[in-house]
Amino acid sequence: MHGQRPCCPARSCVGVRLVIMSVLECLSTEKRSQILAGAAKVFAEEGYEGASMSRIAHEASVSKGTLYNHFQNKADLFSVYVQNACSTYLSHVFSNVKEDGAPEEVLLSVADRMLTMMTDPACIVIYRVVMAEAAKFPNVAQTFYQAGPAEAIKRLTLWLTGAAADGRLMVEDPQFAAEQFLALVQTRTGLRRRLCLDHDVDPAFRDYVVRETVRMFLNRYAPA
């Protein structure tokens, strides 16, 4: 027919390649998530030293070749596992934080979600694995500290710095104040849960810890 453009083979090939690349990328992401889920189970059961790449591959239902295509070694896999978990937890903890929010409102939200995170079984498993291996594998502890506690301190420090700058709080050392706040949140709960001394935290007491954490903090740092 007159006026109809002929099909461009080169353009068609490019389109097919893009579709194939998109499918492969989705499959790769799915496999990666599958591997991380298997790794989480094995690390929880065997610890870092006891976990083997063979066992992780088996648990994730992938070949060792596929496993090594995604992660160079066990240290690399553990690092990504910890970073992903910490990122997910902390994104939730700070998701309601408004840069110009009222201190009491912001701090109550952070304290509540931080305590939930600290007493979450999956989070406690990561902490125990790290503590068990820290002396022998310092890089394991460093990975956890940077992705978890240090990142939480950094985010809270940033907010406290802003609150101090506009007079909502009187904070001379925002980083130190952030560390104080995160320590207060763990009162009678964090350590006992990590040591398996308390399997459940009483909801009423949990709320009390959150309220008292914020009250004590504001007694120290609220403007006169």
Quick: pLDDT tens for 54-90. 999 999 999 999 999 999 999 999 999 999 999 999 9
What does the pLDDT read at residue 8? Answer: 56
Rounded to 5 degrees, what are φ and ψ at 207? -65, -35
* CA–CA distance, 45 with 47 (Å, rounded to integer): 6
CATH of the domain at 207: 1.10.357.10
Query: pLDDT by residue (tens digit) across 11-20?
Result: 555 555 555 4
Structurally, the chain folds into a number of domains equal to 2
pLDDT at 26: 47
**Residue 109 · residue 185 · CB < 8 Å:** no
Same domain assignment for residues 135 and 45: no
In this prediction, residue 21 carries a pLDDT of: 47
**DSSP 8-state class, residue 61:** T
- My answer on whether 85 and 67 are in the same domain is no
Per the domain annotation, does 4 fall within a domain? no
Note whether 195 and 76 are within 8 A (CB). no
> Of 56, 71, 86, which residue constitutes the final position of a domain?
71
CA distance 32 to 198: 34
What SS3 class is residue 53? helix
Is residue 143 domain-shared with residue 189, that is, in the same domain? yes
Could you count the other beta carbons within 10 Å of the beta carbon of residue 210?
A: 24
Contacts of 110 (CB under 8 A, 6+ apart): 93, 94, 97, 156, 181
Do 220 and 119 lie in a common domain? yes
Which CATH number belongs to the domain containing residue 65 in this structure?
1.10.10.60
Is residue 195 within 8 Å of 219, Cβ to Cβ? no
Residue 2: inside a domain, yes or no?
A: no
Residue 164: what pLDDT?
A: 98
**pLDDT the model gives residue 190:** 82
- Residue 71 is encoded by which pair of tokens? 């992660």
Polymer length in residues for the chain? 224
- Structural domain harbouring 21: 9-71
Quote the pLDDT of residue 15.
58
CA dist 78 and 76 (Å) reads 6
Does one domain contain both 13 and 60?
Answer: yes
Q: Are residues 40 and 83 in the same domain?
A: no
* pTM of the model as a whole: 0.81
> In which band, very low, low, confident or very high, does the pLDDT at 23 lie, cut at 50, 70 and 90?
very low
**Is 129 domain-assigned?**
yes
Structure tokens at 182: 């995160």
From 51, 71, 91, give the residue that closes a domain. 71
CB of 144 within 8 A of CB of 126?
yes
Q: Within this chain, do residues 220 and 111 fall inside the same structural domain, yes or no?
A: yes
Mean pLDDT of the 148-157 span: 97
Same domain, 60 and 85: no
Is residue 198 domain-shared with residue 89, that is, in the same domain? yes
pLDDT tens for 83-118 read 999 999 999 999 989 999 999 999 999 999 999 999
Mean pLDDT rounded to a whole number for the chain: 88
The pLDDT, as a whole number, for residue 195 is: 80
Q: How many CB atoms lie within 10 A of CB 4?
A: 6
Residue 163 covered by a domain: yes
